[in-house]
Amino acid sequence: MTIGQKIAILRTSLQLSQEQLAEQLEVSRQSVSKWESDVSVPEINKILQLSTLFNITIDDLLRDEIPLEPTYTENLFKPKESISFNGKYFGTDGFRGEANESLTALHAFKIGRFLGWFYSKNISGAANHKARIVIGKDTRRSSYMLEYAIVAGITSSGADAYMLHVTTTPSVSYVVRQDGFDCGIMISASHNPYYDNGIKLINRVGEKMDDYTLSLIEKYIDGDVSSFDIEENDLPLARKNKIGKVIDYVAGRNRYVGYLISIAANSYRGLSVALDCANGASWMIARSVFSALGADIHIINDSPDGLNINENAGSTHINNLRKYVKENHLDVGFAFDGDADRLIAVDENGNTVNGDHIIYVIGRRLRDKGLLPNNKVVTTIMSNMGLYRALDDAGIGYVQTTVGDRYVHESMMENNYYLGGEQSGHVIIRKYATTGDGILSAIMLLEEMIDKKTTLGKLAEPVKMYPQSIRNVTVSDKSTVANDEKVKALVNEISDELGNEGRILLRESGTEPIIRIMVESGSQKTCDTLTDKVAGLIESLGYCK
């Protein structure tokens, strides 16, 4: 653990923003940011001040091989109480559903009400603590409705609401962590169509909210306040000067843009880069970042109207970008999803470079720079067999988790891994971020292209993707389907048939009423035939809507 990482963790544990720490040390905020990003290290007199402030020895601070004691980190990364949480509203990526159908303005208001109260009273322990909560949103029409409802809930409980407006999920994570907010909220349904929306909650160190807190929110949404230690039948409302303020905080979004720019060590002048912004949250930020770095940028799908987010655009509809890059003879293309926490790239020949390729390229880069602890990356069970063959050839180890960037991140934190992600393009680079960040991933790919003086196609070439077929089957009850004996028997039969030359996975979607069937083998025809066979059985059993 580097000195920069220790400073970031200890600063957060004291609930200090970068500005507040800088003021105590009589340095600039930029200096603190550079320390925490491992761009520079503090001078010796500042190290002495830091060790005194954090009440640790200089050795504890300076020596990478000495981790922080659990007392410094336990309250940051673990919930206060261990529970078994099977969320009614919150899934692996927040509270998601069709706007004004399964996710309403009333839900949003109650979430804001609870968080404003919870972080004012339950976390700080200080009677006069005014909680500070930062909110971002994507470009969906319903995002504005949900944003205003959340802000109303937060301020009615006496907390202050800081509005980033249209921004990306990773920017909210960054601002929460760097500016000392109690928590963050992102309003987005990621890659889903415009009529869906979601509420993602982020804790004060920029990670997804723990299950314990989510379980309390769900209780409040359902009207159960019996465990909240309050006298009334509802949370108390703030009155008079205790009512919270609403603060325009676009400056936080701008600092995030500056942070991304600061990560790049090279100028991108001379590189032609296409950006597919999915008519989503990245449409301003991506332009600003890559323009500032000198790239010759070509942008598509950067005209959001509230109804066109992800519509035949972005990381889930990559063919338009492939065609655009090839026809315009560009060096590379980057496609983001609605909230820009994932990236799918296109190489100079118009070939798709997915999350597995990206993990391989960045994994080799980090390994070569000595930034891959334990020489392992974290993947999910959906990663292609071609990635594992390439990692084996490169001498890089790997672990697998269930599907979901949340589980990837948990594995990274528990085992001190620095890189992990999903084939879908969620890639977490822990040196720079606590969540997937599509723009950050794009910067890392460009840095490697420049440093190695080669193309993205050449960098990704060692990952020979096995043919794969994925079928999404909309069903009435996905859990019942997954546990149906006839379905399980067919899956086992196919698994035996494929042996070591392929595999089959059947899993429930974490956010939609969908069963996902995936088959990999040496033949595309075999993959398609077998996924159709399983989908046909599910349909014949009457499970499809």
Helix (H, G, I), strand (E, B), or coil: what is residue 124? Answer: coil
301 neighbors 319 (Cβ within 8 angstroms): no
Q: How many angstroms separate the CA atoms of 14 and 10, rounded?
A: 6
- Pair 335, 422: CB distance under 8 Å: no
- pLDDT for position 65: 59
Q: What was the pLDDT predicted at 81?
A: 37
Of 62-66, 305-309, 347-351, give the lowest mean pLDDT range.
62-66
Structure-token pair, residue 315: 């990381």
pLDDT of amino acid 87: 80
Q: Check whether 228 has a pLDDT greater than 60.
A: yes
CA dihedral 8, 9, 14, 15 (to 10 degrees): 70
In this structure, what are the phi and psi dihedrals at residue 345, rounded to the nearest 5 degrees? -110, 165
Q: Is the pLDDT of residue 48 over 60?
A: yes
Q: Which of 139, 216, 230 is nearest to 183 (CA)?
A: 216
Q: Lowest mean pLDDT: which of 6-15, 36-45, 287-296? A: 6-15
pLDDT at 543 over 80: yes
Among the listed residues 294, 322, 255, the one whose alpha carbon sits nearest the alpha carbon of residue 446: 294
Q: How far is CA 222 from the centre of its chain?
A: 28
Mark whether 523 is an active-site residue: no
Strands 272-276 and 332-336, sheet pairing: parallel
Estimate to the nearest angstrom the gap between the alpha carbon of 170 and the chain centroid.
6
Residue by residue, what is the 3-state secondary structure of 86-99? Answer: CCCCEECCEEEEEE
In this prediction, residue 510 carries a pLDDT of 67
- Mean pLDDT (the chain) is 89
Residues 394-415 pLDDT 10s: 999 999 888 778 888 888 988 8
Q: Say whether pLDDT at 1 is over 50.
A: yes
Per residue in 135-189, pLDDT (tens digit) is 999 999 999 999 999 999 999 999 999 999 999 999 999 999 999 999 999 999 9
pLDDT surpassing 60 at residue 235: yes
Q: Residue 496 is which amino acid?
A: D
Distances (CA, A) of 309 to 212, 243, 271, 344: 32, 35, 27, 16
Least confident among 6-15, 349-358, 422-431, 504-513:
6-15
What pLDDT score was predicted for residue 446?
A: 98
Mean pLDDT of 33-55: 80
**pTM of the predicted structure, to 2 decimals:** 0.80
* 52 C-beta neighbours (distance < 10 Å), count: 10
Q: Could you report the per-residue pLDDT of 104-145, keeping only the tens digit for each? A: 999 999 999 999 999 987 544 445 678 999 999 999 999 999
369 exposed, middle or buried (CB, 10 Å; 0-12, 13-18, 19+)?
exposed
What is the distance of C-alpha 265 from the center of its chain? Answer: 24
Q: Which of 17, 142, 156, 190 is catalytic?
A: 190
Range among 201-210, 220-229, 338-347 rated most confident:
338-347
The answer to whether the CB of 169 falls within 8 A of the CB of 136 is: yes
Q: Which two tokens stand for residue 6?
A: 């220790």
Do residues 170 and 435 touch, judged by C-beta distance below 8 A? yes
> Positive or negative, the Cα torsion across 91, 93, 99, 105?
positive
pLDDT above 50 (res 97): yes
What average pLDDT does the segment 15-37 reach?
78
Q: Which pLDDT belongs to residue 72?
A: 42
Q: Mapping DSSP to helix (H, G, I), strand (E, B) and coil, where does residue 78 land? A: coil
Share of the chain above pLDDT 90, in %: 66
pLDDT of residue 499: 85
**Residues whose CB is less than 8 angstroms from the CB of residue 434 and which lie 6 or more positions away in sequence, other chains included:** 173, 177, 205, 206, 207, 409, 428
pLDDT of residue 127: 54
Q: Are strands 90-91 and 272-276 parallel, antiparallel or unpaired?
A: unpaired
Q: What pLDDT is attached to residue 120?
A: 87
C-alpha distance across the termini of the chain, in Å: 50
| Ramachandran assignment for 499, one of left (phi > 0), alpha (psi -120 to 50 degrees), beta (any other) | left
453-486 pLDDT, tens digit each:
999 999 999 999 989 888 999 998 888 998 899 9
- Burial code of 289-320, b = ≥16 C-beta within 10 A, e = fewer? bbeebebebebbbbebeeebbbeebbbbbbeb
**For 422-444, what is the mean pLDDT?**
95
Q: Are 61 and 3 in contact (CB under 8 A)?
A: yes
Q: What is the pLDDT of residue 501?
A: 81
H or E element at residue 366: helix 355-368
For residue 269, what pLDDT is reported?
96
pLDDT for position 50: 85
- pLDDT score for 71: 43
pLDDT of amino acid 111? 98
Contacts of 222 (CB under 8 A, 6+ apart): 88
Res. 83: pLDDT tops 70: no
**Is residue 162 within a helix (H) or strand (E), and if so which, with residue range?**
strand 160-166
pLDDT computed for residue 230 by the predictor: 84
Rounded-to-integer distance, Cα 252 and Cα 259, Å: 11
What's the rounded mean pLDDT across residues 434-449? Answer: 97
Mean pLDDT over residues 316-330, rounded?
Answer: 96
Residue with tokens 């800081």: 162
pLDDT > 80? residue 33: no
The pLDDT tens digits of the residues spanning 56-72 come to: 777 777 776 565 554 44
Distances, alpha carbon 174 to alpha carbons 58, 165, 206, 436, in Å: 27, 15, 6, 11
